[in-house]
Chain A
């Protein structure tokens, strides 16, 4: 496979779903007991599981259970979303539930990196902008919201708001180089040189 085959993600459009609250951690996004799997398939149904279902597995009030937000692809969240563990299971679960882009006040770093590896933009805006978007989504669950990664804007209703996309993330998504394996594999010769320059790396020796 070559980097040419990786699709660019210039923008994402779809209906929205708001999840309110700061410090929503990866254990809430996907509880650890659902990680006892060797593939990511089927994780979507377990997204936010403990917040969505009671002890008898009956549904509770939660945006991911709400009829109005079924089919949504743009998630609107608050501060420090995705804090906690490095589990890629978290964005994988959101992706498999249907999320293709996330707008938030801020994101935990490993989480944002994991999203990028899956081609999911994590764009940021101040709390006022995000709360306005969350309110708009609640009032207009059937209307599309457009996350323009290249232009760093979010458009909803008749409003266009400026958002921030990390430089490397924007470039990776817009140029379609967010899947880094092939890109880095092409530099194998340079990698070998770097390895050879490090005193602790011995040829074929474990250390």
Chain B
């Protein structure tokens, strides 16, 4: 078992006791809730006449079902309105802070937590959402839980869990032009597989990770779960502290920053820490990665050929054949030139301000391909305002993108933003599962935000590095 890692330190500090099942009871420092997975848990609490134990450590927002166009109440979708009303009633009754649309702080839960300074190193963070792994970017231990566990956390402030192994993933070298955090994590998943991380927590380290912004680190930790790892983290460093210091919480409580910093320093993995596994990936050799299939592990460098199922390990062949049939791709071809109908720039993976800035730099002065429906869905209202203030909205709209309000949107199609029929979508989101974007015949190609921008302009999957050489009109 691992020793001296951040995971070990944070686990030990939060362990309450060992339960009769052999699982540990773990104290939860931040419980984020949203409208899809929490109503049933509040229902279970009411059935048992239990109260929320730590409302002050709980924070709510609304993201999955929120419309990104007309947000006037009641929502035009009755089911969405019912879910929203249920959440409003639950948080009011329990006294839980709610970043709702009227607050100006609403957004995707994994964008909201960090930007408000709620996400901090050394916290245990849970949410009924698998992409809770995002918060590990700050050196928190953060993982998704199911609704019965939400009930446990609401009622007791704790979860029952077994400790896992720790795999260190060291990404060496410098990332090349057009290559982003998204490409790093897609490559990691391609190499280790969608189930490679089951039983593990991932520690991301190495020069390429240390050089990433907090937003880049969030993109990587976000997709840990696509590699089977319930949690992933980066040790906190000066980049982390600088980001935290600028958040509301620490701007309002500067003394807390100084008080907590020693704790954050103390939980970093020791130089002498032992890991259950170590994997090294050469970051300097990467190119932009795009998916050709229907799992996030089915990715390929933009200039590389799509693999033949026959050349894959035996247990991957059938899935690959079905994926290639669904996506209508042929082995030996590259993904370059694959025609798209929709470009989606959004999601908890890639809808933060720097993501939008990089995409806007590609889009500026150009036009979206006439056959493409392109949309930008900022990760939060704060991101949206900041992007509007610095002119990004205008750049996107001038090019022909729709500029929407914040939410999960077309990442999973729980609101009106969905693919239709067999549309193909260049998407900055995290899952290319069949049916994920709202149409069971829809086709999703995952890629980084600059690549989404390039695909929107060209009408097909394009190497953004080539596009940059085109003279801007």
**Which residues from chain A contact B230 at a C-beta distance below 8 Å?**
109-110
Type the 1/0 row for A19-57, where 1 means its CB is closer than 8 Å to any CB of B.
Answer: 001110101100111011111100000000010000000
Mark interface residues in B186-209 (1 if CB within 8 Å of A CB, else 0). 000000001100110000000000
**Cross-interface CB contact of B315 among A22, A197, A207, cutoff 8 Å:** A22
A14, CB-defined interface residue at 8 Å: no
Contacts of A138 in B (CB 8 A): none
Does B147 lie at the interface of the complex (its beta carbon under 8 Å from any beta carbon of A)? yes
Q: Does B27 contact A (CB under 8 A)?
A: yes
A114 & B146 in contact (Cβ 8 Å cutoff): yes
Cβ contacts under 8 Å, B172 to chain A: none
Q: Are B195 and A80 in contact (CB under 8 A)?
A: yes
Is A87 a contact partner of B162 (Cβ separation < 8 A)? no
Indicate if the CB atoms of B413 and A32 lie closer than 8 Å. yes
Q: Does A1 contact B (CB under 8 A)?
A: yes
Report the separation of the CA atoms of residues A106 and B132 in the bound assembly, to the nearest whole angstrom: 22
Is residue B37 within 8 Å, beta carbon to beta carbon, of the partner chain?
yes
Given contacts A39-B40, A109-B199, A184-B156, contact A86 B145 (CB under 8 A): yes
**Contact in complex: B48, A201 (CB < 8 Å):** no
Which of A67-75, A140-148, A167-175 contacts the other chain?
A: A167-175
Closest CB of chain A to B455's CB: distance in Å?
23
Judge whether B43 is part of the interface by a CB distance below 8 angstroms: yes
**In the bound complex, do residue B130 and residue A194 qualify as a contact, i.e. CB atoms below 8 Å apart?**
no
In the complex the two chains form, is B160's CB within 8 Å of A184's CB? yes
- Contacts of B339-398 to chain A: CB distance below 8 A: none
Given A37-B79, A87-B37, is A185 in contact with B414 using a C-beta cutoff of 8 Å? no
Residue from B86, B152, B434 within 8 A of A184 (CB atoms): B152
Does chain B have a CB within 8 A of A177? Answer: yes
Give the distance in Å from the alpha carbon of A12 to the alpha carbon of B25 in the complex. 28
Contacts of A172 on B, CB cut-off 8 Å? 21, 23
Is A84 positioned at the interface, with any CB of B under 8 Å from its CB?
Answer: yes
Given known contacts A86-B37, A108-B228, A33 and B17 CB-to-CB distance under 8 angstroms:
no
Residues on A with C-beta less than 8 A from B130 are: 84-86, 110
A10 close to chain B: CB less than 8 A? no
A110 to chain B minimum Cβ distance, whole angstroms, is 6
Contact of A36 with B414 at beta-carbon distance under 8 Å, contacts A21-B319, A86-B146, A118-B148 already known = yes
Min CB distance A122 to B, Å, is 12
Chain A proximity mask over B145-170: 1 for CB below 8 Å, otherwise 0: 11111011001111010100000000
Shortest Cβ distance from A163 into chain B, in angstroms?
Answer: 17
- Chain B min CB distance to A87 (Å): 7
Q: Is A177's CB under 8 angstroms from B19's CB?
A: yes
Is B212 in the interface zone, CB < 8 Å from A?
no
Tell me if A150 is interfacial: C-beta within 8 Å of chain B.
no
Complex Cα–Cα for A206 and B96 (A): 10
Q: How far is the CB of B371 from chain A (nearest CB, A)?
A: 23
A38 to B57, CA, bound (A): 23
**Which residues of B (113-159) have their CB < 8 Å from a CB of A?**
118, 120, 122-123, 128-130, 132, 143-149, 151-152, 155-158
Measured between C-beta atoms, what is the minimum distance from B294 to chain A in Å? 8
- Using an 8 Å CB-CB cutoff, how does the interface string of A69-109 with B read, 1 for contact, 0 for none? 00000000001100111111101100000000000001111
Q: Are B83 and A38 in contact (CB under 8 A)?
A: yes
Interface segment out of the listed B8-16, B213-221, B299-307, B457-465: B8-16
Q: Does chain B have a CB within 8 A of A65?
A: no
- A118-B148, A205-B56 as given contacts; A38 in contact with B194, CB under 8 Å: no
Residue of A nearest to B316 (CB): A22
**Nearest-CB residue, chain B, relative to A37:** B79
Across the interface, name the chain B residue whose C-beta is closest to A81: B195
Q: Given the interface contacts A83-B194, A207-B249, does A1 sit within 8 Å of B433 by beta carbon?
A: no
Q: Are A175 and B16 closer than 8 Å at their CB atoms?
A: no
If the complex has contacts A50-B440, A109-B198, A191-B158, are A84 and B433 also in contact, measured as CB distance less than 8 A?
A: yes
Of the candidates B44, B194, B199, B438, the one whose C-beta lies within 8 Å of that of A23 is B194
- In contact, B65 and A36 (Cβ under 8 angstroms): yes
B80, CB-defined interface residue at 8 Å: yes
Residue of B59, B77, B120, B160 with highest tally of chain A CB at under 10 A: B160
Set A22, A113, A206: member contacting B318, Cβ < 8 A: A22
Bound-state Cα–Cα, A101 to B198, Å? 20
Chain B residue with minimal CB distance to A172? B21
Nearest CB of chain A from residue B420's CB, rounded to whole Å: 11
**B46-67 contact mask (Cβ, 8 Å, vs A): 1 or 0:** 0010100110110100001100
Which of chain A's residues have a CB closer than 8 A to the CB of B249? 207
A86 touches B128 (CB 8 A): yes
Give the chain B neighbours of A201 by CB distance below 8 A.
Answer: 29, 57
Residue B443 is within 8 A (CB to CB) of chain A in the complex = no
CA distance A40 to B315 in the complex (A): 34
Question: CB-CB < 8 A to A179: which residues of B?
Answer: 148
Task: Say yes or no: A88 contacts B37, CB within 8 Å.
Answer: yes
Chain B residues near A195 (CB, 8 Å)? 27, 54, 157
Interface membership of B259, Cβ < 8 A: yes
Task: Give Cα A21 to B433, complex, Å.
Answer: 14
- Give 27 CB contacts A-B under 8 Å: A25-B433, A27-B436, A33-B414, A33-B438, A35-B36, A39-B40, A80-B195, A83-B228, A84-B225, A85-B144, A86-B144, A106-B195, A166-B162, A168-B22, A181-B155, A184-B152, A184-B156, A184-B160, A185-B50, A187-B16, A187-B156, A188-B156, A190-B17, A191-B158, A199-B259, A206-B57, A207-B253
B residues neighboring A (CB under 8 Å): 13-17, 19-23, 25, 27, 29, 36-37, 39-40, 43-44, 48, 50, 53-54, 56-57, 59, 64-65, 77, 79-80, 82-83, 86, 97, 118, 120, 122-123, 128-130, 132, 143-149, 151-152, 155-158, 160, 162, 194-195, 198-199, 225, 228, 230, 249, 253, 256, 259-260, 263, 295, 315-316, 318-319, 322, 412-414, 431, 433-436, 438, 440
8 cross-chain pairs, A with B, having the tightest CB-CB distances, nearest first: A117-B148, A114-B146, A86-B144, A88-B146, A36-B79, A88-B147, A80-B195, A38-B39
Q: Which residues of A contact B (CB under 8 A)?
A: 1, 21-23, 25, 27-28, 31-33, 35-40, 50, 79-80, 83-89, 91-92, 106-110, 113-114, 117-118, 127, 166-168, 171-172, 175, 177-181, 183-185, 187-188, 190-191, 194-195, 197-201, 204-207
